[in-house]
Amino acid sequence: MFDAKNGRLLTAEQFDVLRDTRAHRPDDVRAALQSRRRRSSLLAADGRLFIIAADHPARGALGVRSDRMAMADRYDLLDRLALALSRPGVDGVLATPDIVDDLATLGVLDDKVVVGSMNRGGLAGATFEMDDRFTAYDIDSIVRDGLDFAKTLLRIDLDDAGSVATLEATARAVDEAASARVPIMLEPFLSVRSNGRVLNDLTTEAVIRSVAVASGLGNSSAYTWMKLPVVEDMERVMASTTVPTLLLGGDPQGAPDATFARWQNALGLPGVRGLVVGRTLVYPPDGDVASAVDQAAQLVHGPALSPALS
């Protein structure tokens, strides 16, 4: 559980208010979202974006490295997210409605880009994982709550018929986003099932093919963005699309320094606009969330951020 006396940003009293609001004044949750101060532009002044991702729990994906239940404590997660959002250069958060509602009620979303995660029905480890239903936000609710961006996960297993339902639902989401003029980021993968687990193919060729498929979904690509893994030969990957692209952090594996170096190299490529990173930064190996987030923010926004971090 959270411990307000142990270097936490949020206090026990704030969580008391959050629980009381949810129980007695549910309309205040939506009011907090609709009344939050919104920034005038999606992109930062330098044309970049740095988003903290927190939509894993809704798929039952709670693990970080060897800890299978690392994200199970909601109070701890909210505190980590609030700390990350308080750091200079962090532009916003990507999450499902439960987490977005909590953060809005806690008052930490002013001037932040809020990205609504849409399809969370492909539960981790389920037989139906590839039939990734849209069980969280839809475009109407994103507009209703005054969110800034939409996001979908698009895993395609050529041996699993459930993928076609996900493809069709994603195409309709792109249609609706374009009609509402809401930017929508697609996170595509070619995937395979091995020993009961869905694994994403992270070869250069597979990522390029996934981008090609995702790019053609919907009746307009005007508001489409990509959210792509950093793989070998990212120059070829970025040559496969003209839409704005954010790099995803991926599962937190390997040495942090090597991960940051890969991000830094890829951030310099044409078309790359920034990072969307979750567990790697929110649950760093040394526990220092602020330091991990600051390092990533500097990669995205550059030396101009240095005075704010000192």
Tell me if residue 125 falls in helix, strand or coil: coil
Would 3 be classed as within a structural domain? Answer: no
At 304, which CATH number? 3.20.20.70
| pLDDT confidence tier of residue 196, bands split at 50, 70 and 90 | confident
The alpha-carbon radius of gyration of the chain (Å, integer) is 19
* Mean pLDDT for the chain overall: 93
Average confidence (pLDDT) over 251-264: 84
Write out pLDDT tens, residues 88-130: 999 999 999 999 999 999 999 999 999 999 999 999 999 999 9
Residue 4 lies in a domain: no
Which conformational region is residue 250 in: left (phi greater than 0), alpha (psi within -120 to 50 degrees), or beta?
left
Asked whether residue 99 is domain-assigned, the answer is yes
User: How many structural domains are present in the chain?
Assistant: 1
Residue 7 lies in a domain: no
| pLDDT band at 305; cut points 50, 70, 90 | confident
Instruction: Provide the residue range defining the domain that includes 30.
Output: 12-309
pLDDT tens, residue by residue, 206-255? 999 999 999 999 999 999 999 999 999 999 999 999 999 999 987 767 77
Q: Which residues, in sequence order, are CB contacts of 269 under 8 Å at separation 6+? A: 234, 235, 238
Residue 6 resides in a domain = no
22-25, long-range: CB within 8 Å, 24+ apart, which pairs? 22/105
Residue at 29 is within a domain: yes
pTM given for the model: 0.94
Q: Is residue 5 part of a domain?
A: no
Count other Cβ atoms within 10 Å, centred on residue 193. 14
